[in-house]
Structure 1
Amino acid sequence: MLTINVAVLLAVIVVWRLRRRTEARSRVDERLTVVIVLALGVVIAPTPAGQGILHKIEELASGVTRGSR
Protein backbone atom coordinates (compact mmCIF):
# COMPACT_ATOMS: atom_id res chain seq x y z
CA MET A 1 0.00 0.00 0.00
CA LEU A 2 1.32 3.43 -0.96
CA THR A 3 0.75 6.37 1.37
CA ILE A 4 1.35 9.95 0.35
CA ASN A 5 1.98 12.71 2.83
CA VAL A 6 -0.36 15.57 1.88
CA ALA A 7 2.19 18.24 2.84
CA VAL A 8 4.84 16.67 0.60
CA LEU A 9 2.37 16.36 -2.27
CA LEU A 10 1.33 20.02 -1.94
CA ALA A 11 4.98 21.12 -1.73
CA VAL A 12 5.78 19.25 -4.94
CA ILE A 13 2.77 20.84 -6.67
CA VAL A 14 3.82 24.32 -5.51
CA VAL A 15 7.40 23.86 -6.75
CA TRP A 16 6.15 22.45 -10.05
CA ARG A 17 3.74 25.37 -10.55
CA LEU A 18 6.31 28.03 -9.61
CA ARG A 19 8.85 26.70 -12.09
CA ARG A 20 6.62 27.70 -14.99
CA ARG A 21 7.29 30.89 -16.90
CA THR A 22 5.59 33.96 -15.42
CA GLU A 23 4.36 35.17 -18.80
CA ALA A 24 2.46 31.92 -19.35
CA ARG A 25 0.31 32.31 -16.22
CA SER A 26 -3.23 33.62 -16.23
CA ARG A 27 -4.86 35.32 -13.26
CA VAL A 28 -6.85 32.15 -12.55
CA ASP A 29 -3.63 30.15 -12.59
CA GLU A 30 -1.97 32.58 -10.15
CA ARG A 31 -4.97 32.44 -7.81
CA LEU A 32 -4.94 28.65 -7.86
CA THR A 33 -1.25 28.71 -6.90
CA VAL A 34 -2.03 31.03 -3.98
CA VAL A 35 -4.83 28.72 -2.78
CA ILE A 36 -2.49 25.71 -2.95
CA VAL A 37 0.23 27.57 -1.01
CA LEU A 38 -2.31 28.57 1.65
CA ALA A 39 -3.48 24.95 1.92
CA LEU A 40 0.14 23.87 2.33
CA GLY A 41 0.55 26.42 5.13
CA VAL A 42 -2.55 25.13 6.91
CA VAL A 43 -1.29 21.54 6.66
CA ILE A 44 2.23 22.39 7.89
CA ALA A 45 1.28 24.87 10.65
CA PRO A 46 0.43 22.44 13.48
CA THR A 47 3.49 20.25 12.91
CA PRO A 48 6.82 20.67 14.76
CA ALA A 49 8.41 21.85 11.51
CA GLY A 50 5.67 24.44 11.09
CA GLN A 51 6.13 25.64 14.65
CA GLY A 52 9.89 25.97 14.05
CA ILE A 53 9.28 28.01 10.90
CA LEU A 54 6.85 30.24 12.83
CA HIS A 55 9.43 30.77 15.57
CA LYS A 56 12.12 31.78 13.03
CA ILE A 57 9.73 34.20 11.31
CA GLU A 58 8.84 35.74 14.68
CA GLU A 59 12.55 36.22 15.45
CA LEU A 60 13.11 37.82 12.05
CA ALA A 61 10.12 40.14 12.48
CA SER A 62 11.21 41.25 15.94
CA GLY A 63 14.74 41.89 14.64
CA VAL A 64 13.39 44.05 11.82
CA THR A 65 11.16 45.94 14.25
CA ARG A 66 14.05 46.61 16.63
CA GLY A 67 16.28 47.67 13.73
CA SER A 68 13.79 50.25 12.47
CA ARG A 69 13.63 52.11 15.80
Structure 2
Amino acid sequence: MIVTINVAVLLAIIIIVVQLRRPTHSRSRFDEKMTVVICLTFGVLIAPTAFGKSILDVVTQLAEGLSKAGQ
Protein backbone atom coordinates (compact mmCIF):
# COMPACT_ATOMS: atom_id res chain seq x y z
CA MET A 1 0.00 0.00 0.00
CA ILE A 2 1.37 3.39 -1.02
CA VAL A 3 0.43 6.42 1.04
CA THR A 4 0.82 9.81 -0.58
CA ILE A 5 0.25 13.28 0.83
CA ASN A 6 -0.09 16.59 -0.92
CA VAL A 7 2.75 18.89 0.24
CA ALA A 8 0.51 21.97 0.14
CA VAL A 9 -2.01 20.27 2.43
CA LEU A 10 0.76 19.20 4.80
CA LEU A 11 2.11 22.76 5.00
CA ALA A 12 -1.38 24.16 5.58
CA ILE A 13 -1.96 21.70 8.42
CA ILE A 14 1.37 22.62 10.02
CA ILE A 15 0.55 26.33 9.80
CA ILE A 16 -2.89 25.81 11.35
CA VAL A 17 -1.44 23.75 14.20
CA VAL A 18 1.19 26.41 14.89
CA GLN A 19 -1.48 29.12 14.79
CA LEU A 20 -3.71 27.22 17.21
CA ARG A 21 -0.89 26.46 19.67
CA ARG A 22 -0.26 30.15 20.29
CA PRO A 23 -1.38 31.41 23.69
CA THR A 24 -4.94 32.71 23.70
CA HIS A 25 -4.60 36.32 24.78
CA SER A 26 -6.68 39.19 23.55
CA ARG A 27 -6.52 38.88 19.80
CA SER A 28 -5.84 41.84 17.59
CA ARG A 29 -7.69 42.43 14.36
CA PHE A 30 -4.56 41.37 12.49
CA ASP A 31 -4.59 37.99 14.26
CA GLU A 32 -8.26 37.50 13.41
CA LYS A 33 -7.67 38.40 9.75
CA MET A 34 -4.65 36.10 9.60
CA THR A 35 -6.69 33.21 11.00
CA VAL A 36 -9.38 33.78 8.36
CA VAL A 37 -6.77 33.89 5.59
CA ILE A 38 -5.12 30.70 6.83
CA CYS A 39 -8.45 28.85 7.01
CA LEU A 40 -9.50 30.03 3.54
CA THR A 41 -6.12 29.02 2.13
CA PHE A 42 -6.43 25.62 3.77
CA GLY A 43 -9.87 25.21 2.22
CA VAL A 44 -8.59 26.09 -1.25
CA LEU A 45 -5.62 23.74 -0.93
CA ILE A 46 -7.59 20.78 0.38
CA ALA A 47 -10.63 21.12 -1.92
CA PRO A 48 -9.25 19.29 -4.99
CA THR A 49 -7.81 16.39 -2.99
CA ALA A 50 -9.58 13.10 -2.29
CA PHE A 51 -9.75 14.04 1.40
CA GLY A 52 -11.42 17.34 0.52
CA LYS A 53 -13.96 15.58 -1.67
CA SER A 54 -14.78 13.14 1.11
CA ILE A 55 -15.31 16.05 3.51
CA LEU A 56 -17.63 17.64 0.94
CA ASP A 57 -19.59 14.39 0.66
CA VAL A 58 -20.01 14.16 4.44
CA VAL A 59 -21.11 17.79 4.75
CA THR A 60 -23.52 17.35 1.82
CA GLN A 61 -25.09 14.28 3.42
CA LEU A 62 -25.36 16.08 6.76
CA ALA A 63 -27.01 19.12 5.15
CA GLU A 64 -29.46 16.90 3.23
CA GLY A 65 -30.32 15.00 6.40
CA LEU A 66 -30.97 18.21 8.32
CA SER A 67 -33.01 19.58 5.44
CA LYS A 68 -35.19 16.45 5.32
CA ALA A 69 -35.59 16.48 9.11
CA GLY A 70 -36.85 20.07 9.00
CA GLN A 71 -39.60 19.31 6.48
TM > 0.5 fold call: yes
Match of 2:3 in 1: none
TM-score normalised to structure 1 length: 0.81
Match of 2:25 in 1: 23
Q: Find the residue that maps to 2:25 and give its secondary structure.
A: helix
Provide, for residues 2-55 of structure 1, a one-character-per-residue CA deviation record: whole Å limited to 9, x for no partner: xx8121111111122123344332111111111011111101101111100000
Aligned residues: 66
Q: Find the residue that maps to 1:16 and give its secondary structure.
A: helix
Matches within 5 A, 1:1-69: 5-69=7-71
Identity %: 44
Counterpart code for 2:11: L
Counterpart code for 1:14: I
Q: Where does structure 2 lack aligned partners over 5 or more consecutive residues?
A: 1-5
Q: Where does structure 1 lack aligned partners over 5 or more consecutive residues?
A: none
Counterpart code for 1:35: V
